[in-house]
Structure 1
């Protein structure tokens, strides 16, 4: 099995990384991962500087960040979560990039991720308020998605202003 995994890592790396991040990784720092290798490297150094003081979650994140750094150094990258293309829990391959799933967002569970996918299949989201209601997404997650730049072009509320 190790030989098969190594073969994919060498000959079809984007498939390997998509499978790894979908199946194995549980903690993500999407803000660092979408900004490239320099930011990922600084985040790794930040965790390593803590040494034994680092929490278990940070140590788990360190492994994911190291693999993300390796991927970026090999010429591949992460895109931001896409409101209309991301799946609930699987990374999507887009050329030499990976589009993260909704459940890679911290604090967003698989059930909410599935609700977002189901809601977007019904019809497009009109606003952030619409996403929050139909997708059953908390205000904190809406703010996080806004920070990532996933909600560009979506107005805050359904109500249109005349002035």
Structure 2
């Protein structure tokens, strides 16, 4: 098993043989036979998946409204499969890599904007969660917090 995520009444699993979902009663439904999923996240009422196709050496973005049928939206840069994704609420999706934070805008493609990570430099991000009006960033060395209204400060180009 390479990936597992519980969403709604299903588990979504990825193995070397592809991507499947498992119902509460144990029924296994094949979804994408030729893709290894590295992330699934549900912003804005849909489900998205980042996939890796080894034989084609490609990374892709898939979308599903129901979780049972998936359509490929875009080919992505291979680095996107290395990010950890955090749906903060229905409209805000963040991602991290080491100590970097990114805001992601979904559409027919993914648009990444790096956020100001002052104070997080050198602290490996392991989780992000929103509680009330604060966002908490868990790292291997401690817990950091920021008010939601100050979270979306973008890093300037060249920083």
User: Same fold, TM exceeding 0.5?
Assistant: no
In terms of fraction of residues, the more helix-rich structure is 1
Larger of the two Rg values belongs to structure: 1
Higher RCO structure, 1 or 2 (CA under 8 Å, sep 6+): 1
